[in-house]
Structure 1
Amino acid sequence: MNRFMSLELFITLLLLIFTTAISAQDTSYEDGKRYILGGLEVTGLQSYNEQTVKTYTGLRIGQPITVPGDEISAVINKLWGLELFTDISFYITNIEGENVFLELNIIERPTLSNVTVYGVKKRKVDEILKDTDLKKGKKITESLIANSKNYIQNKYKKKGYLNAKVTIATTKDTTDANTQAMVINVKQGDKVKINDIVFEGNEQLSDKQLSKALKKTKQRKFYRFWKKSKYIQEDYKNDLVSLVDKYAEKGFRDARIISDTFVKVSDDLIDLKIKVEEGNKYYFGDIDFVGNTVYSDRQLAQMLGIKKGDTYNGVLLRKRIADDTKPDAEDLTNMYQNFGYLFSSINPVEISAENDTINFEIRIIEGKETFLDHVTVIGNDKTNDHVIFRELRTRPGQRYNKSDIIRSIRELGQLGFFDAEQIKPDIQNPDPNAGTVDIAYNLVEAGSSQIELQGGYGGGGFIGTLGLSFSNFSMKNLFKGEAYKPVPMGDGQTFALRLQASRTYRVYSLNFSEPWLGGKKPVRFNMSLSRTQQFYYNPYVSSKPDKSKQFSITGITAGLAKRVQWPDDYFTISHSLGYQLYNFQDYNLGLFNFGNGKSNSIAYTLGISRDATGGGRIYPRSGSNFAITAKFTPPFSLFNNIDYKQLNEDQEVAIEELDSDEIERIDQERFRWLEFYKVNFKGDWYTTLVDKLVLRTNAEFGFLGSYNEDVGKVPFERFYVGGDGMGSYTLDGRDVISLRGYENQSLTPYSTDPLSGGQVQDGGVVYNKYSLELRYPLTLKPSASIYGQVFLEAGNAFNNFQDFNPFELKRSAGVGLRIFMPAFGLLGIDFGYGFDQDYNPNSSGPSGWQTHFIIGQQF
């Protein structure tokens, strides 16, 4: 009986549920009842304010509302859109007549408290968290977890880790309400490399040709260093496009890839199979120009450089129309844009294909001639506007010229005041109807002042150096206190002060340069003062130098340099006039054959240089620069009535008799006024090979000559080759030439002292040098530019021109690193191996490994 009653009750409940379900299915929003909202209560909140949620729903007490109805549905959808809650429900809590009271129950999503990442190096964790935006307080959603997982996996797959696996788990954090901690576990696995690349269907092009077309997708080879064999899907897709382009270059316009698959060989090896359909080979037919009025068909055809009958080359055709890889390319688009037609468009169209010949129309819409309306600069916080505008080749009202913009970028980069990598011209407000456009140059200031503070041991003791160089100085604000930040800056002038001292010598130098003398033309004015004192020091006699015995050089130089327009406006002609006074006070160390007296030098220097490098002053990537300088003194021997031939005969007698006083008198008379001429050449060429890999080629030559053989060569202005190339403390006009892999100045030949018969090193009168450098930047940021280099060098110095042999060279090779920081200038280290023996009498065999430290050296 009890069992029967239980069964009856169960059937009754089923019928009740079934009837309720049918009733619910028949109910629609049209069946909802109209009420007045009497009250709204929000429950389930943990971190949000109840009033804030009520306000966001838009529901107001006293408003008419249909339950169920559109208002309730809209509120639910609106709250779901926030992605802040996991459940949203409305309940009727009470009905009083026409008033309805509702409860909005919300379950909040948990908040992220912290993230722990396993399987990743510590320095990479912050990068992952930043890219995925996984930060404390973030609401945890399914999409957040899925997107983070996909991003991390794809990040590693792009680097060649195709088997990378990422798992993300969350767990309740009891330290705070409704928070969860996240754990990310990364298993990157091994890099997947390409074991073999198999081509199918290729008959016209060999496997080797197609393999070369895949620039970044290479199969594994034991000798491959520069291009790795890892498989990266994005690079592979781009290489497939390059492969089709390779066919297009050879005339196979219809070539296509039918299929590409990869076969798993092992967990870290795959094979790629690429099947191609080559199609027929085509040739160019007639090429007609349509719509051109500015240039004739002949001019355009000459620039296009494609003739009827040439093998069809779709890649070449695109580049001759518009080469996107080079901003200054010689193509039809730049041809128009360099003549003011910014809004021109050029499109090649195939009009017919007859057998294997394709006829083209080059359809040109020239547009309206364009002029510059406004030219502005942005980002120059320190440098005054006029310093920038005088370097720009673009002026308001001028015809638009793309090559002028490119040249302006180069000139701004050469100033050294801005980060050359971030100089970006922004074309603004183009108006095809009016034919006007604005240009804004976006600049990022780079440090333009340097401080040199260093100490070391050499020259008989401790050497201290203090150098200050301000390359964006402002002389006119020198007496304005508010301009010192920390020094007056902004006018592009150079002011440098350098002090160097040890117990055996003192060096003082001051230099000022104004690049635009008068402010209207690029005429550089330069003025320099220098003073050096060297004291006699014999460590075997005394621990202190004898300052009563000294040798000093006092000099002043003034010069002008002007940028000229012929042969082109990369050329500069410079003139300078300098005077030096050499003063000896009981100082006998072999510089001259006299220890007391004075010698004078007045020299005029003519320089011709051409600087057409591109890519910035610190890391040039293209172009070249060379400089030829010729330094002359007056030929005093022509008019001073001194019989130098007789002096030589008298000196030979004095040497035989070992009469040092007579030898000193003769040399003092011979070199009272120095006479010589000196010629230097230096050239650098920069070529970008791949990406940012740059080849620098260098050649140098120098020669010191005399007008009168009886006077002989002066003991100053000589060439000293070998080592790091940093000038020593002896300011005697010498040129110190670097040749890494050898000790400093060790490639300068020795000569015989006529008095003592010993070997002395008094400098060469002719030298030559050649260099090859491969450079690659690690970073080119304004705060620090760093690049590595591999070099080959060869050079030599000779005591006279008769012995000069440009192929008799001392060779070296090595590696180095350069770091340029605006505040300290250039720092570097080189490890060079000298393959030949130097001129040191005590050396034997190759020079071997040498380490060189570079401070403030040229780039």
Structure 2
Amino acid sequence: MLWGTNVGKSCGGCQSRTNILYKHVSALSLAVALGFAFSPSFAKAQNYRFNSVKVEGNQRIQTSTIVAYTGIKQGETVSAGRLNDAYQHILDSGVFETVELVPRGNTLVIKVTEFATINQISFEGNRRLKDDDLVALIESSPRRVFNPSQAERDAAIIAEAYGSQGRIASRVTPKIIRRSDNRVDLVFEITEGDTTEVERVSFVGNRVYSDRRLRRVVETKQAGFLRALINSDTLVEDRIEFDKQVLRDFYLSRGYVDFRVNSANAEVTSERDAVFLVVDVTEGQQFQFGEISVSSEIDEAYSDEFFDTLKVKPGAIYSPLLVENAITRLETLAVRKGIDFLRVEPRISRNDRDLTLDVEFVLTRGPRLFVERIDIEGNTTTLDRVIRQRFKAVEGDPFNPRAIRESAERIRALGFFASAEVDVREGSSPSQVVVDVDVEEQPTGSLSLGGAYSVEDGIGLSIGLSENNFLGRGQRLSFNISTAQESEEYIFGFTEPHLLGRDLRFSFDLGVSRSDSSFSEYDTKRAFFMPSLGFQLGESSNLALRYTWDRDEMLSRGDDSNGDPLAGTVVRNEIAQGELVSSGIGFSYTYDSRITGLDPNAGFLVELGADYAGLGGDNEYVKSSARLIAQRRVFHEEVTLRATFEAGALSWLGDDDSRSIDRYILSPRIMRGFEPGGIGPRDQSQIGATSSNYNDFLGGNYYAVARFDAEFPLGLPEEFGMRGGLFYDIGNLWDLSNVDTTGGSIVGEDGSFRQVIGFSLLWTTGIGPLRFNFSKALQKETFDKEQSFDLTIQARF
């Protein structure tokens, strides 16, 4: 016996290749040992010369291919080690279930058993992930050779996909069913298991901000009261990594430059259905801006002139975002002054003694690089120009790395793409660069269903259809239907965000509505058309110009059981005017300091608007409004303080009288503690001996309201999602100029300020935020309609 009957053998699905190789080497070693023990000539028998190679058992794989795997040439002298290598090469091809090398004199016999081909692939037990989704994940496919190792890898990939959905207890087992003609059916048996909830999110090492505050920052949430309706309380590994970055951004924006996340450990319960997520952090000290300076290494860039454009001041809480904004302002000024290739290098000096960071913005000359071209790939639907509009640079412009990064963020913010990568490479010469944009599109249409409840309209249902990238042009089409017990509205909308390729936002809304509110004795119908054009005035301000065409009508509800009209004299006079049309122009100005604010815990919003009606139509008036909101978080951001001021004025210019639907009517959204139309001038006229007093609200030409709110934690377990609030409102609604009050008994025309205090219960649920308001009027008129409780629900599914 020169070598033994079997040189090597592998049984796929029974034992691993490592065990097979170990068995082969052991047999070879035993044969060599016996050779030395019984015959000295056996040492010479370890070399072979084969004049021919015979292959047995192959069906699909050609004999010449298998012989080529061995690397053995005819008549070549080979050692036992070479034979072992030949065996391993055939096995590593991945297409054979078993392999045997049998020397027979001058002939090498190779016996193989080919792996079966996959007839079909099926999945059993999967409900959360569809078959098509799973097929896209695995590499095994029908009509390909079955590979047990690949099947195991595919099972692991499927299990990982379930794990990304929070089902870490899922199990996937690949099994085969033998068929004729050396075929098998591959079946993945899946046990999905339950989602693994995050029972508790806690933090270690935080001193400044409480666990409760940090839990509002991260995306991973604790299992709450309505845990069956939300997904953010499911353990997802990628979400935890995202939360680490969110925490870093949160602390860095508040001056904690040494903050770090040491670890984020999820401790699984014994039932493997829940985890306790513990995040270990180091906060460090809070730093403020110290000395701010600008120095220039470019002759035409004067440091004093660039310094004047900065908004960052010493003493402000340090934030990398503010540094980035300052660099952008400096580079923008350089572009306006025609200084190309200017780069801003922030040099930061740390002062640990007084916890400040000195920032020197150094103006330097960057490399002379130009944008040769912008290549866009992957956009099968979205037009190239929609993506190019996100770039401020075009071909031939000086290359600015910061501007390219900002453009990449604007492309991702479109929401059209599942992924968007922007890279830069050298162009046709060292002074040219090519910007490569690679995107992967995703669906941009949506169907939304919503439920709502309000005191004015009752319970309602809303249905919305929208397409945010119509025909790949970046345009938005929408159609919304809102129906409630006492109102109904149908609106069609269109938006072009870049009219004529410029930063002009064009939109128009077209709709009809009707209302039969139980708080009034008349119904209303309305049809409107409103195109508008908006553009940015500054970093934090926007202006919108609009035209409004409005046709509305007040409708009578008839008489009561006694035959008396339901509405009073003034309202009946307004109903008698019939259908009227208003046609006019207007503007809205918005300034929002939160966009580029220096303090992440404070901000304010200013909204101003005015409309002039009189471009045709039946009415002529000027109607203006203003709203100011200021907000600040205090006590380590646990308490939110908010102050809101609203005011409006209507100046009626037409020959006809104004109507209630033209004037201002205060709702609980503006002035809490009262019914819709519960304050302001009223008609309390009396007609006939059998008639009761009428009490129609008429609205007013002027109003002013101030609201003050404080929101704070209640100390309840956070899984309830409840916070408390206190509020104080003061407001007034007055004046009935240009109103026909003949025959009426008017009260409250001169107006008076009402005051309301109250308590709010804010409940964040899986179906949306609920707000319960309990109020008490401190000052009111006898004819006012008080409302001590108000519930507002806004939910989307």
Q: Tell me the TM-score normalised to structure 1 length.
A: 0.52
Encode CA deviations 1:114-161: one digit per residue, 9 max, x unaligned: 99999xx964898999878788988565797699779969997998x9
Q: Distance in 2 between matches of 1:610 and 1:116?
A: 55
For residue 759 of structure 1, report the CA deviation from its aligned partner. Answer: 0.9
**2:419 is aligned with 1:429:** no
Could you list the per-position Cα deviations for residues 582-639 of structure 1 after superposition, in whole angstroms to 9, with x for gaps in the alignment? 6999998553526645686666443132477999xxxxx9999754211245799xxx
Cα 1:290–1:402, aligned 2, differ >3 Å: closer, same or farther? closer
Rounded to whole Å, the distance in 2 between the matches of 1:471 and 1:14 is 76
Q: Equivalent residue for 2:51?
A: 36
SS of the aligned residue for 1:374 comes to: strand
Report if aligned partners of 1:773, 1:790 keep a CA contact under 8 Å in 2. no
Please say if residues 582 and 598 of structure 1, whose CA atoms lie closer than 8 Å, have aligned partners that are also in contact.
yes
Q: SS at the partner of 2:324? A: coil
CA gap of 1:81–1:175, structure 2 versus 1, over 3 A, is closer
Partner Cα distance (1:261, 1:495) in 2: 42
The corresponding residue for 1:800 is 734
Write out aligned runs for 1:697-712 (5 A). Answer: 699=644, 701-706=646-651
5+ residue gaps, structure 2, are: 1-30, 226-231, 285-289, 559-564, 596-600, 688-692, 712-720, 736-749
Whether 1:522 and 2:494 are equivalent positions in the alignment is no
Q: Distance in 2 between matches of 1:188 and 1:553?
A: 51
Which of structures 1 and 2 has the bigger CA Rg?
Answer: 1
Q: CA deviation at 1:831?
A: 3.8
- Structure 1 CA distance, aligned partners of 2:385 and 2:191? 57
For residues 511-550 of structure 1, what are the structure 2 equivalents within 5 Å?
522=504, 524=506
Q: Please name the residue that 2:684 is paired with.
A: 753
Aligned equivalents of 1:469, 1:173: Cα separation in 2 = 47
Alpha-carbon distance between aligned partners in 1 of 2:169 and 2:498, rounded to the nearest angstrom: 62
State how far apart, in whole Å, the 1-side matches of 2:55 and 2:431 are: 63
Q: TM-score, normalised by structure 2?
A: 0.55
Q: Equivalent residues in 2 for 1:286-325 (5 A)?
A: none
Q: Secondary structure at the match of 2:661?
A: coil
Residues 261 and 52 from structure 1, CA distance in 2 versus in 1: closer, same or farther, beyond 3 angstroms?
same
1:369 lines up with 2:368 in the alignment = yes
Q: Distance in 1 between matches of 2:552 and 2:431?
A: 66
C-alpha separation in 1, matches of 2:710 and 2:145: 51
Q: Deviations over 1:394-421 (max 9, x none)?
A: 322223346655776787789xxx5267
Q: Which residue of 2 aligns with 1:717?
A: 662
User: Using the alignment, how far apart are the partners of 2:279 and 2:499 within structure 1?
Assistant: 67
Q: Which residue of 1 aligns with 2:789?
A: 847
Gap change, CA 1:523 and 1:742, over 3 Å in 2: same
User: Comparing 515-524 with 188-197, which one deviates more in the overlay?
Assistant: 188-197
Q: Of 329, 334, 338, which aligns to 2:324?
A: 329
Are residue 78 (structure 1) and residue 78 (structure 2) matched? Answer: no
Does 2:535 match 1:563? yes
Name the residue aligned to 1:393: 392
Q: For 1:657-806, list aligned pairs within 5 A.
A: 674=619, 676-682=621-627, 699=644, 701-706=646-651, 714-722=659-667, 745=676, 751-756=682-687, 757-763=693-699, 765=701, 766=703, 768=705, 798-800=732-734, 803=751, 805=753
Q: Distance in 2 between matches of 1:596 and 1:189?
A: 63
Of residues 419, 437, 449, the one that matches 2:415 is 419
Q: Secondary structure at the match of 1:630?
A: strand
- Aligned pair 1:836/2:781, yes or no? no
Decide whether aligned partners of structure 1 residues 64 and 524 sit closer, same or farther in structure 2, where only a CA change above 3 A counts: same
Cα distance in 2, alignment partners of residues 147 and 531 from structure 1: 55
- What RMSD in Å do the two structures reach over aligned CA positions? 8.0
Structure 2 distance, partners of 1:148, 1:94, is 45
1:677-702 deviations in Å (ceiling 9; x for gaps): 3222357899999xxx9x99895724
Amino acid at match of 1:371: F
Q: 2:102 aligns with which of 84, 91, 95?
A: 91
| Distance (whole Å) between structure 1 residues aligned to residue 523 and residue 172 of structure 2 | 77
Question: Could you tell me which residue of structure 2 aligns to residue 608 of structure 1?
Answer: 588
Contact 2:138 / 2:158 at 8 angstroms: preserved in 1? yes
CA distance in 1, matches of 2:172, 2:48: 45
Aligned to 2:26: none
Instruction: Write the distance in 2 (CA, Å) between the matches of 1:193 and 1:469.
Output: 37
- CA distance in 1 between counterparts of 2:235 and 2:178 reads 45
Give the equivalent residue in structure 1 for 2:8. none
Contact 1:115 1:134 in 2 (8 A): no
Partner of 1:628: 608
> Residue 504 of structure 2 aligns to which amino acid in structure 1?
P
The runs of 5 or more residues in structure 1 that have no matched partner are 1-12, 200-206, 279-283, 474-484, 541-549, 616-620, 637-671, 724-736, 775-787, 819-827
CA deviation after TM superposition for structure 1 residue 434, in Å:
0.8
**Distance 1:428-1:585 versus aligned 2 partners, 3 A rule:** same
Deviates more, 1:396-405 or 1:225-234: 225-234
Contact 2:171 2:192 survives alignment (8 Å):
yes
Structure 2 SS opposite 1:591: helix
Residues 1:468 and 1:349: Cα distance change in structure 2 (over 3 Å): closer
Q: Is the 8 A contact 2:204 2:280 kept in 1?
A: yes
Equivalence map 1:470-481=2 (5 Å): none
Superposition deviation, residue 761 in structure 1: 2.8
Query: Which letter does structure 2 place at the counterpart of 1:103?
Result: I
Instruction: Give the corresponding residue for 1:49.
Output: 60
Pairs within 5 Å for 1:42-191: 42-43=56-57, 49-51=60-62, 54-55=65-66, 57-58=68-69, 63-68=74-79, 72-83=83-94, 85=96, 88-95=99-106, 100-105=107-112, 123=128
Amino acid corresponding to residue 88 of structure 2 in structure 1? N
> How do 1:341-380 and structure 2 match up within 5 A?
367-375=366-374
Cα distance, 1:256 vs structure 2: 14
Residues 705, 732 of structure 2: 8 Å contact kept? no
User: Which one-letter code corresponds to 1:571 in the other structure?
Assistant: N
SS at match of 2:610: strand
Counterpart of 1:574? 545
* One-letter code aligned to 1:833: F
Say if 2:119 and 2:183, in contact at 8 Å, map to a contact too. Answer: no
C-alpha spacing 1:196/1:178, structure 2 compared with 1 (3 Å): same
Tell me if the contact between 2:646 and 2:705 (Cα under 8 Å) persists in the aligned partners: yes
Return the offset for 1:388. 6.0
Higher relative contact order (CA 8 A, sep 6+): 2
**Contact 2:344 / 2:363 at 8 angstroms: preserved in 1?**
yes
3-state DSSP class of the match of 1:563? Answer: strand
- 2-side partners of 1:600 and 1:532: how far apart? 15
Task: Say if 2:628 and 2:645, in contact at 8 Å, map to a contact too.
Answer: yes
Give yes or no for contact 1:527–1:559 (8 Å, CA) kept in 2: yes
| Cα separation, 2, equivalents of 1:423 and 1:66 | 58
Change (3 A) 1:390 1:751: same
Change (3 A) 1:755 1:381: farther
Q: Distance in 1 between matches of 2:605 and 2:104?
A: 87
Q: Percent identity?
A: 9
Q: How many residues of Structure 1 are paired with residues of Structure 2 in the alignment?
A: 669
